Amino acid sequence: MVALSGAMEGQESKLVEQWYDGLGRAAGFDSWGQVIEAVDEYEKLARQVRVALDDDKLKFTEPQARFLNRTMIIATLRAKAATDLTGAMEGVSLEDIRAVAAALKLLPLEAVSFPVEIADIRKYATTTASSSSSAMRKIDE
């Protein structure tokens, strides 16, 4: 596990640590071709982040919330890309997920920019579920 300290404390820091671990598990499953397990982890992460961002008791800064919102969308998009057997959906790559995980690890310690271009997210956002589309609108706020 990652030792987290600095700007983010308490429950928020613990949640980010759990999400980092979950994203690492998902990427591990994904890299081994274990699609079902990877998708389960990506979807679990997206749900957990969505619930946390809606929880008024948790105090994420605005930049942290934007980063986490984008992380939720990227995880959802990777889950969709991993299950697309037609090859029609280009989606988020495993390398993108690894870059997001590395940045997520630093989130409690410092302000980090999101490692995947927002234009790339918008390109694939048209294929996401309506819940992710509402999250997409929050990015621009």
Q: What is the pLDDT of residue 6?
A: 40
Global pTM value:
0.78
pLDDT digits (tens, 9 = 90+) for 18-57: 999 999 999 999 999 999 999 999 999 999 999 999 998 8
Burial class for 78, CB neighbours closer than 10 Å (0-12, 13-18, 19+): buried
The domains of the chain are located at: 10-139
Q: What is the pLDDT of residue 89?
A: 63
pLDDT digits (tens, 9 = 90+) for 48-92: 999 999 998 888 889 999 999 999 999 999 998 888 877 666 678
Classify domain 10-139 by CATH number. 1.20.120.360
Q: Give me the long-range contacts of 114-117 (CB less than 8 A, separation at least 24).
A: 114/66, 114/67, 114/70, 114/71, 116/70, 116/74, 116/92
Q: What is the pLDDT of residue 83?
A: 86
Does residue 104 surpass a pLDDT of 90?
A: yes
